Structure formats: C-alpha cells, structure tokens
Amino acid sequence: QVQLVESGGGSVQAGGSLRLSCAASGLEVRWNCMGWFRQAPGKEREGVASMYTLGDRTYYTDSVRGRFTLSQDNAKNTLYLQMNSLKPDDTAMYYCAAKWGVCSARPLFNTEFSTWGQGTQVTVSS
C-alpha cells in the first residue's frame, strides 16, 4: 500500500522559513516523479514543485522559483520542500503527491499524479 505522510507545516511571519517533509512508503521517491501542490481556500489546487531524481529534473512554478527548494533523502525515502522568504500568498494546505515513473510533459498538473498525502497547513502572516 502506497502512503505519503506530510509534516512540517505551521504558522510563520512573512519572510520566515519552513521545511515540509513527505515520508513515503510503498514506493521509492527516487524512482518516481514526486511533487508538492498547494490549495488555498476558494482556489484551485496549484502545482508548486516536482522532481524526478533519475532524470535530474526539478520543476518549480514561477511564484516560488528562487525561494523554494525541492530535495529528497533516498535513505529516508523522504521528499522535502524548503520554503524561504515566505509570503502571505503562500498560505495554503500543502500536499505531497507521487506519479509512478518519470514526470510527464506537465510536471505541475495535479491530474498527472495518482497518489496523495493528507496535507499539512502552512499559514504566513504579514
């Protein structure tokens, strides 16, 4: 059974940092396309970042490029999202997701991902 468990969310002031973790079981993060998505109240789910380690490819949405960094620890089978210089607009529920195999030509589209975690809340105050 595939399971993704997120942690690391919380409340911070603008300019602060958080690191989200996604512990995977039932699949290996290095062999599959792994991503982070977020959804704010009243808004559609948005792709934040995704990566496929074997292809050495990482993708970021424009609004977070340069502030967020995606990484993974293969020994722990865990995906991380380091978020720096947080803004109030980053406030959302953040979800970890997995797509079997390589990332598709649309690496930040939520319909490409088949397995999802339960989410972790990030709140950034001004």
What span, in angstroms and rounded, lies between the C-alpha atoms of 31 and 65? Answer: 24
Model confidence over 89-100: pLDDT tens digits?
999 999 999 999
Over residues 21-73, the pLDDT tens digits come to: 999 999 999 999 999 999 999 999 999 999 998 778 899 999 999 999 999 99
Whether 96 and 115 have beta carbons less than 8 Å apart is answered as: no
| Strand 120-125 to 92-99 pairing | antiparallel
- The answer to which of 13-17, 53-57, 115-119 has the lowest mean pLDDT is 53-57
State residue 53's pLDDT score.
Answer: 80
pLDDT of residue 56: 80
In a 13 Å sphere around the CA of 21, the CA atoms on its Cβ side amount to 9
Single-letter residue type at 41 = P
